[in-house]
Amino acid sequence: MFVERLERIARSVGGAGLVSLVAADGIPVESHSTLEVEDLDVEALAAELLAQVHTIGENHRDFEMGAVEQFSVTTDRYSALLGRLNADYFLLLVLAAGSGLGRARFELRRATLAFEDDL
């Protein structure tokens, strides 16, 4: 069931190379990838991005800003977006450089609703 949803998200975002359902501990539960991102270590990437989200969340408690809902990093090769689905799960989306980040953010938001009843 999750694989089909991940595939749908990848198809709806141009340039999507990886979509992964990731547990809050950074371990991918299910992933869908294309050939363009086979050289990425999904587990290491997910763990590192979630560590950054947790660090940001801890640092911002003093500011009472709330939980991080989306986090993104853009490099010369990829853009990685991490969106919170709930307290226990995140969705990781990796795009080729130059892909539409706006559409990716929109699809992450839609995915929150799609996964809501199943997680």
Domain ranges of the chain: 2-115
How many C-beta neighbours within 10 Å does residue 28 have?
17
Rg of the chain over CA atoms, in angstroms? 13
Has residue 59 got a pLDDT over 70? no
In the structure encoding, which two tokens stand for residue 48, read together?
């590192």
Distances (CA, A) of 5 to 8, 33, 39, 52, 74: 5, 13, 23, 26, 24
Band of residue 68 on the pLDDT scale cut at 50, 70, 90: confident
Q: What is the pLDDT of residue 90?
A: 94
CATH 3.40.190.10 fits 2-115, yes or no: no
Q: In this structure, are residues 92 and 20 in contact, taking their beta carbons and an 8 Å threshold?
A: yes
Has residue 77 got a pLDDT over 70? yes
pTM of the predicted structure, to 2 decimals? 0.87
